[in-house]
Structure 1
Amino acid sequence: MEPGAIVARIGIDSMLGTDIEAAQTLARADIALYGAKKRGRNRIEVFRSAARPDIDAIAGVN
């Protein structure tokens, strides 16, 4: 990486059409963020609970 280079890793989740609370959405976005960090620089990851059914329990979604 070049000195002064800017990189980004972003985790995304949506509350639209759900009955989950803001704190749960932030927890799910945080899980997506750590997935982006794991996969490398300049990544955007969207939280998808269907891909990992156990993840809602980790994020505190009932």
Structure 2
Amino acid sequence: MCRHIPVCPDADSPDRERSHVIAAHPDQGWSLLCNGVVLFDDTGMLLPDGSVVAPHRAAVAA
């Protein structure tokens, strides 16, 4: 999907979240990244192959 230089990390890369946002929907809590990953506000992800990455945001002390 990525057509700019430098090329964004693949959806399979550990640094996939560094990819550029191509569609942002903050009102709905998600963004579509250039590599096809849907990134949710809670840091969870939906990958292009349909697999899910659980949220990994650091826990906030109460």
Q: Is the helix fraction higher in 1 or 2? A: 1
TM-score, normalised with respect to structure 2: 0.20
Which of structures 1 and 2 has the bigger CA Rg? Answer: 1
TM-score, normalised with respect to structure 1: 0.20
